[in-house]
Structure 1
Amino acid sequence: MSWRTLLAAVTLGGLTVLALPAGPASAHATLVGSNPTADVVVDALPGEVVVTFTEPVRPVADKVRVIAPDGGRLDTGKVTARGADLVIPLRGNGPRGTYLVSYRVISADNHPISGGFAFSYGEVTATPTDDAGADVQTDPLVKHTMSAARWIGFLGLILLVGPALVLLTLWPARLPTTGPVRLALAGAGLVAVSALLELYLQIPYTSGGDLLDATTDGAGDVLGSTYGAAHLIRLAAVAAAVLLLRPVAGLRAGRLDQALLIGLSVVGAATWPLSGHPSASPVPALTVVADAAHLAAMAVWVGGLVMLFGFLLRHADHRELGVIMPVWSGWALLAVTVLVLAGTAQALVEIGTLGALTGTLYGRLVIVKVCLFAVILAAAAYARSVTNRNYPAATDDADEEVAGATVRRRLRIGVLVEIGVVVLVLGVTSVLVQTTPARSVEAAAGRPGRPVEVRVSSNLFQVVVDVSPARTGINTVHLYARKPDGSAPLKVVEWKATVALPSKEVEPITVPLVALTPDHASGQIAFPTAGTWDMRVTVRVDDINQATVTARIPVG
């Protein structure tokens, strides 16, 4: 046994233990209550504020605050999480008036959740703002860059697994291995770059900062989380796999080398679901395995297609392809079967209902992915038909040369179409993993439904009205003020809002609002009945200028 094989075996053993799935959890925590409760007036300040969520959360450093009426902080800065409770100790006695509680926490699937509420001590006064506290809007550039990093990781996995698999099993001994090995090393490099980039981006994504807002404390929090552990495991798995590429490149990999390489691929693939939505689903054992199998089957299938298009259909002769193509065709069929079964299992868990499939962004992205997958299957069926008709082919050398050139051309067209559409599928998947699962959207609503976002404008401002879950009962309202052209946030001096349902003679109901940041306010309102409600929002931008706009909110 070589030292490379021994090192890879030790690495695989350690990574397997570290990558074991955690216990059950649910994704995307939602606020269910607090003590003191929102908008209550208490006779004495409590020693601590307790915020309760639907699942265990962990606080983001320095993003959980209690702001006193005079604008100072009353919290001690030592926030603790006790299961689903976020405990915020308070210091000393504060002045009478209204207090703002703002929070930013990380839910089980490593996505940030932000919000806030107010309570009063002794008397109600103007609600203070928290300019440096929780910002409920994640920087779009950070979010989009994270999707790009995921895409790079998926591409790298394909370029690593495809060449390694073909070199181990289907590569003709007479052909040089330099090209496939370079491709595999490039794939390993892309996976490593993607993992490092995702680790970095998780810091501002967690804290709510911009692309360059990374701190040492933030890095420590990310590396100490399950998200950080999964990415470190991925980096170690890639490093160990690279060590095994040398015997593979020499076409002298033994059975142990092959087993270790397959094992490292499985553990590495598992780090994607362990750091995302599947690990926090209602049935994590199923979704983690299904997502890992889905990813592995994709890497085998598409990686094999890349090898076919880039090398085998160019350099292998007709007789060699007569042996390779039937075997590859069987493997491709198995990979597609796994893709369909694993994808179906994930969809049933992550979506759940037909309404969620068509009524949420997550569901609509899945529909797009399925449509693209149907195009890939059509191209794959064409390639399989060509393979079955032409391999094995004629034995006459002249006939073989003519037939081989025609078959290669047809196969390369089919494979090129598959690869091209797969690139689009990877893009949709990269966005999908950053999107709230449909089950989480519906869980927040309590029944099938979806949040409503409406933009209304005046000559002074533009307001984005976000109401969730847009159903009867308690709803959370977020208001964001922007300049009239929507180009930048706008500072607001005072917010006011009411809701009414004229069609059922429901008079205006005041929406209690808390200014979380200069351009953002939040509150809760109970819709007593379904219908299309009129929300009138009054925004004062300075001492004399204000305007009122009306948003139509459909409530189910």
Structure 2
Amino acid sequence: MTRVLLFLLVLLTGTLALPASPAAAHAAPVGASPAPGSLNNAAPTEVTVTFSEPVTPVDGRVQVIAPDGERISGKVTVEGPVVRIPIRKAEHPLGTYLISFRVISADSHPVGGAITFSVGAPSARPEAPVESAGAHPSVTAAIPIFKTMGYGGITLIAGPALFLAFLWPRTRSRRGALLAIRIGLGLTAVATAGALGTQAQQGSGAALWQVTATELGEVVTSRFGLLLLGRLAIVGALAVLLPPLLRRPRRTVTVPRTAPQPVLVGAGAPAPEPAPVPRPQPQVTSRKVRAYAVLGLSAAGLATWPLTGHAIAAPLPAVTVSAGVVHMAAMAVWIGGLVTLTVFLLRRTERRVLGVILPVWSRWAALSVLWLVLAGAAQSVIQVGRVGALWETDYGRLLSAKLGILAVVLAVAAGARRLVLRGSGGTGLRRLVGVEVVATVLILGLSSVLVQVDTGRIAAAKDKQITGAGKSETLTSDLYAVQFNIYPVELGEYNTVHAYLYAPDGSPMRAEEWQVTARLLDPALEAVPQPFAPLPTGNQALGSMSFPLPGTYEITFTIRVSDIDRDSVRTTVTVGG
């Protein structure tokens, strides 16, 4: 039996080799001020970064780096999805600034990145801090392992517990099933401790073994940490309550309602009346109280998974969290029941006894699958967002693979159910159930990876995220120097052009007239004037630029600085497909 359990655990872990890209982030930066890649007249006193969902900054990991490498940021504040960073004036204010950020999204995943903007002329980009590069490979590898252990743990708790409570044969020993429950409790506890122990490194970018007491303290006092500490407390309580509840009840000796009295021997001695024995008063048994406590604790423990995952950050959190609890409960009952049948009951149990157990289990399994599908459908509709995401995103492709395996499992389960209803069993039934177990273990592994991948909803937000891309350059002529920024340099009409005009001595210069054109070079097309208008400051102009086709464009600025002085400067920009 122990070897079979170990085999199942190895199979669970082996599913993690399935190809998938764990998400580096689950929220996306969708706006910033100053705008990414922009050119500005003066350094701001505050910068902001706006994300697609509420975030929590990682202490010391959100900062602004001046052009000379000096850190100039102050205390970070957060208002929902908006991160505000006050900055002081740099000693050398002209050049390119770097906004480096690392935050934790609402679904407990880390988000890291960097954005640049320039004051005056652009310069070399300051070096980003090492921790903004992303999670360390050791952490990336450990996270899905811990998640799989957690899922495996709850199935090893739920399945054996359900059978021991309602369907266990009187003639079979309960020792192995109780051991499976203890293993499940242990796996869940280790997985939870592992999630707590890796959260700080996800935020800092450090290796798995590089964590400080201060960082751990910040994790355990966060919302994420408190939920996981609650899960650990629930696991400890279940370890105390479950085994006594599921052991075979001890036989009790029936006490007669009246106790016999000794007969007095003697002349004329009357026979005494029998003494009444007090009848026990009806009361709620401790066993029933323990059972209700176990049910309540189990529901609370299951809720900690969606409360620390994708579900809590979805547009309808009440729906997705509730569906997540139902989905996990149904999964644990179904897969855990199959494991219990395979490991403990299908072998060495009398055929007559199996004839009683299997029809009941078949009905329970059908109900579990029904709730599993309904809850999964509710989650998928919200998380995928659109039909195209099923094949355009990693999340959609993994979900499709999971649904495909589920369809195979249901077909096999239908065959097994027909055998049960006909009263057949033996080797054929054991093989079908074995196939179900292997396939459902693969589903568990896919689920462990799926929760680490951006949902279709998040992927849609990332399509709109800011990237810091753009074109910034300074062009000079005998009459002037023009600094400009085009953002974000993408196909279409929505590219912003912002330009600053300076005299040869570097002082701001007023323009009498601004013109800008864009011409595709290959295939060669005519230059197209772009909307461009001066701003009240006089030395600035703002407009938009259209790139209808991919390729290299020649951008020409023609600026008149007096009634007779006019000159043109040119550069090129490449627009991808």
Per the shorter chain, which TM-score range? 0.7 to 0.9
Give the aligned partner of residue 49 of structure 2.
Answer: 51
Give the aligned partner of residue 484 of structure 1.
Answer: none
Give the aligned partner of residue 32 of structure 1.
Answer: 30
Give the aligned partner of residue 67 of structure 1.
Answer: 65
User: How far off is 1:313 after superposition?
Assistant: 1.4
Residue 229 (structure 2) pairs with residue 196 (structure 1): no
| Deviations 1:166-205 (CA, angstroms, capped at 9, x unpaired) | 1111112232211100010001000111111111122211
TM-score normalised by L of structure 1: 0.73
2:446 and 2:43 map into 1 onto residues whose CA distance is 49
1:534 and 1:211 map into 2 onto residues whose CA distance is 45
Runs of 5+ in structure 2 lacking a partner?
1-24, 250-285, 468-487, 496-518, 528-543, 554-572
Give the aligned partner of residue 542 of structure 1.
Answer: none
Amino acid at match of 1:307: T
Give the aligned partner of residue 107 of structure 1.
Answer: 105
Residue 247 (structure 2) pairs with residue 247 (structure 1): no
2:373 and 2:404 map into 1 onto residues whose CA distance is 13
Residue 393 (structure 2) pairs with residue 360 (structure 1): yes
| Deviations 1:338-366 (CA, angstroms, capped at 9, x unpaired) | 11111111111111221111111100001
1:247 and 1:374 map into 2 onto residues whose CA distance is 38
Distance 1:533-1:245 versus aligned 2 partners, 3 A rule:
farther
User: How far off is 1:243 after superposition?
Assistant: 0.9
Distance 1:172-1:288 versus aligned 2 partners, 3 A rule:
same
Distance 1:264-1:40 versus aligned 2 partners, 3 A rule:
same
Residue 463 (structure 2) pairs with residue 445 (structure 1): yes
| Deviations 1:24-64 (CA, angstroms, capped at 9, x unpaired) | xxx94332333333344444433322222333221112211
Per mean C-alpha deviation after superposition, the further-off stretch among 86-95 and 356-365 is: 86-95
Residue 187 (structure 2) pairs with residue 182 (structure 1): no
2:108 aligned counterpart, secondary structure? coil
1:134 aligned counterpart, secondary structure? helix
Give the aligned partner of residue 136 of structure 2.
Answer: 139
Runs of 5+ in structure 1 lacking a partner?
1-26, 391-402, 452-467, 476-498, 508-525, 536-549
1:186 and 1:297 map into 2 onto residues whose CA distance is 20
Match of 1:272 among 305, 322, 327: 305
1:115 aligned counterpart, secondary structure? strand
Match of 1:411 among 419, 422, 429: 429
Structure 1 vs Structure 2 CA RMSD: 3.2
Match of 2:416 among 372, 383, 389: 383
Structure scoring higher RCO (CA < 8 A, sep ≥ 6) equals 2
2:491 and 2:185 map into 1 onto residues whose CA distance is 48
1:242 and 1:86 map into 2 onto residues whose CA distance is 43
Give the aligned partner of residue 381 of structure 2.
Answer: 348
Residue 113 (structure 2) pairs with residue 80 (structure 1): no
| Deviations 1:425-463 (CA, angstroms, capped at 9, x unpaired) | 11111110000011111133369xxx9xxxxxxxxxxxx
Over the matched positions of the two proteins, sequence identity in percent amounts to 41
1:83 and 1:200 map into 2 onto residues whose CA distance is 26
Determine which structure has the larger helix proportion and give its number. Answer: 1
| Deviations 1:467-524 (CA, angstroms, capped at 9, x unpaired) | x99875779xxxxxxxxxxxxxxxxxxxxxxx989469599xxxxxxxxxxxxxxxxx
2:94 and 2:357 map into 1 onto residues whose CA distance is 78
1:226 and 1:53 map into 2 onto residues whose CA distance is 19
Residue 350 (structure 2) pairs with residue 317 (structure 1): yes
User: How far off is 1:281 after superposition?
Assistant: 0.3
Amino acid at match of 2:200: I
User: How far off is 1:272 after superposition?
Assistant: 1.0
Residue 366 (structure 2) pairs with residue 333 (structure 1): yes
Greater gyration radius: 2
2:50 aligned counterpart, secondary structure? strand
Distance 1:124-1:275 versus aligned 2 partners, 3 A rule:
same
Distance 1:386-1:470 versus aligned 2 partners, 3 A rule:
farther
**Aligned residues, how many?**
440
Amino acid at match of 2:149: I
User: How far off is 1:289 after superposition?
Assistant: 1.1
Give the aligned partner of residue 11 of structure 2.
Answer: none
User: How far off is 1:528 after superposition?
Assistant: 4.3
